[in-house]
Amino acid sequence: MSRKFAIAAVLALALGPAQSRADPPEQAPSAWTLDSLMAGLQQVKSASAHFVERKEMAMLTRALESTGTLSYVAPDRLEKITLTPAPETVTLNGETLSGVQANGEHYTVSLSERPEVATLVEGVRSTLAGDLPTLRRYYTVDFKGNHDDWELDLTPKNERVRDKVEAIRIKGAELVLKTIDIDERDGDRSRMTIIPDRP
């Protein structure tokens, strides 16, 4: 019970980072592909898209579906505006995560104070920014596929996050992200499908 409480307190408490373990020696991924993907993503200065997110959870009788827009401005601004079922805005700017909930409540979270939160948001942002060093700070990165159909498998390094999240899988083609899957340890899962806005 108290373990669960500890998790609940994660957000509001300044809990320190779990001891980061030494990286397992990574198999040098086909360096050419991951590096060139990252180098390519670094060139993208801004992007916007619509998304559909679907979560399947054991505690719910049906899947939760939400829709909205995503926008990214290099190097570190990412905004997620949920339109349905209830309006909500979350903005990640530098090291601050801030948001407005449907009931109008504002909140801000400092990433350096919440390593678990940082882990979750950096998975997407560092990928968009092509920032491999940051990505590797939080995840063991596994890359497969080719130029037109690639997949990044991210395994959290933070123990407390790894207890919850098995892996984040990002699939894409060229320099565009197509889906983000999150597989949780307890079997819950979510998939965000991204539909890029064509300029």
Please give the residue ranges that form the binding site for another protein (CB under 8 A).
1-2, 4-17, 53, 55, 57-62, 64, 66, 80, 82, 85-86, 88, 90, 101-103, 110, 112-113, 115-117, 120-121, 161, 164-165, 182, 184, 188, 190
**Token pair 């449907």 in the structure block, residue:** 102
Q: How far is the CB of 51 from another protein (least distance, A)?
A: 11
CA-CA-CA-CA dihedral for 154, 68, 48, 171, to nearest 10: 30
Taking alpha carbons only, the member of 85, 72, 117, 123 closest to residue 98 is 117
Nearest residue (CB) to another protein, 2 versus 27: 2
46 φ, ψ (degrees, to nearest 5): -160, 155
Measured from the CB atom, the residue of 35 and 88 that comes closer to another protein is: 88
Output the smallest distance, CB 196 to another protein, in A: 19
Instruction: Please say which residue, 8 or 31, places its beta carbon nearer to another protein.
Output: 8
Contact 135, 127 (CB under 8 A): yes
Cα(52)–Cα(90) distance, integer angstroms: 16
**Does an H or E element contain 134, and which?**
helix 132-138
The CB-of-8 to another protein minimum distance in angstroms stands at 4
Residue among 15 and 44 whose Cβ is closer to another protein: 15
Residue 73 CB, shortest distance to another protein, in Å, is 18
